[in-house]
Amino acid sequence: MVELHILDGIPEAERGNGYGSCGLPQVLSSALKADIDPIDPTGSQAAAMIVRSKTDHPKHGFPIGPCDSCKVLTKHYGLDFLTDDGK
């Protein structure tokens, strides 16, 4: 992924539960390396939800804020994170 070097700079003890496997790094990487028309995600809006394999799980679809690792990406790209779980 394009921006993994940013995540590499996060000390292990400060990495979020979803370090590197959340949707945000995937989406940013796709935007930055789009073959035809790369997109600069700086200043974009972002949102996140918990996804469970069983959709009747009570936390499935629960809006959450960025994990500690994604907070670094959020700050780096000046993202407006729309969901927040208070953490």
The span from the CA of 73 to the CA of 46, in Å, is 11
**Per-residue x/- track, 14-53, Zn ion (CB under 5 A):** --x-x---x-------------------------------
70, 77, 79, 81: which one binds Zn ion (CB under 5 A): 70
What Å distances lie between residue 3 and 53, 63, 65, CA to CA? Answer: 27, 24, 19
Which span (1-9, 35-43, 62-70, 75-83) binds Zn ion, by CB under 5 A?
62-70
67, 74, 77, 81: which one binds Zn ion (CB under 5 A): 67
Cβ partners under 8 Å of residue 12, min gap 6? none
Residues interacting with Zn ion, by CB under 5 A? 16, 18, 22, 67, 69-70
